[in-house]
Structure 1
Amino acid sequence: MADGRNVYAAILAGGSGTRMGNPEKPKQFLMLGDKPILAHTVEKFCAVGLFDSIAILCPEPWMQQTRDLLRRYCPDCCDKIAVEAGGATRNDTVRNAISYFCENSKVDENSILVTHDAVRPFVSHRIIEENVRAAIEFGACDTVVPATDTIVQSDDGAFISAIPDRSKLYQGQTPQSFNLLELKQLMSSLSSDEEAILTDACKIYTLRGRKVALVRGDVSNMKITYPHDLRVASALMGNSRA
């Protein structure tokens, strides 16, 4: 399916545990069932069998613990996984991933980079495969699900400014996938003002008038951010084993 291209994955594990109520441990290292959240996510990317190399980008003080985690929980795919330091922001972390692959892998104009949140352990093989396919065909894609709730816009935080048409709205997930060198070029073109408004890499493409294809996500592809999310994820993990 990768059409002879080099395909790389960057698992973004730079988050902290603050919103989870555990500032001492980044949330990706919390246990979900019998293994850490990060290990579940890594297993999905290894099992899909599409990647020439995988990099985990984590806080620098946690790099050795990440390597130890891989040896304990993911021993069968350690040989193709690198552990690298993340950056101060999400976009800095993506830049670090790009730099790693450019310096250590066979990157060319056809190479694909799939980026994914470490704390979305329920990503499916179908979603990953469709990301690679869409990135090859269109150059960039985002994983989304249709918005189910009415979205209310407020410019001042006190009163409604607008209620957009829900049928045109989607909630973003990950993976987000790109032609690697095109993403590198676009990121290097950003001004400091543009950097300040970025929430993710797909925003860069919209700023430059580039198209980003949509890949259908799944409500189960949840991001574990708050204690309630971990309880829901634990329930999902239990159901998947029933």
Structure 2
Amino acid sequence: MNKNKKLIASAIAALVIVAAITVGVVKTAEGNLDVIGKGSQKTFEAVLNVLPDAGKADEANAGWSLESPDGEVRLIWSGDYNKSPVYDVMLEFDAKPFLDAGLDESRLSDQYKRNDGSIIIGSKLRKEAPSVKEGPNALSAYQQIETYNPDTINYHSAMDHYGLKLGDGNMFEWAKNMETNTVTKKDQDKDIVFVLNPEPLIAAGVDPEKVEGWVYTTVPVMDHGKNVEVYKFLKPFNIK
């Protein structure tokens, strides 16, 4: 009888330990997500403060935009998902460099939208957020993304960048620290980087080596816990 009591007591103790470990792991995971979110807000605000036209209101998309220094691509994020006509987060980029490199727009999927010489690619966010009611601005709209769709934001450790995922491998990335950010030999590790998935564009006729103004190269990404190299179109800038 005493032996059975000891076995039961040991089993209960083991369950308590497992439960404690599980709670600790969950809290750690939540803490890490919070660190990514809060850290990304601060650094995204730094980018908005450096670029003169960043955070410009975009009424057509019910949100705000951040334009590249060369004026060829814009990041757009909505402040009211009920009013955004196409996507809640997106890139709008000049079609000409891709047309000159062989793009046949008729071969692009319906996911790619056309707008007066530009191409738009992006996604609707998974969880709807309330529109910004008080003191709406570019940063508060970004904070909505972190609050309601945190899985849209990631941290790219290989390049020490935060990133806003726009769907199907398209992204906007920015340096965690612009003061200590360095440039690699592949010209990838800059303050801000607009990132396009090249595969659909290549399938629509683009010769990736002939696209002017974009860098076609491999970048390291995590795939099932392993670092792998994938091809991307990059438009990187130092802005500080």
TM-score normalised by the shorter chain: which range applies?
under 0.3
Question: Could you say which structure has the higher strand fraction?
Answer: 2
Q: Normalising to structure 2: TM-score of the pair?
A: 0.27
Larger radius of gyration: 2
Q: Normalising to structure 1: TM-score of the pair?
A: 0.27
Which structure is richer in relative contact order (CA contacts within 8 A, separation 6 or more)?
Answer: 1
Question: Could you say which structure has the higher helix fraction?
Answer: 1
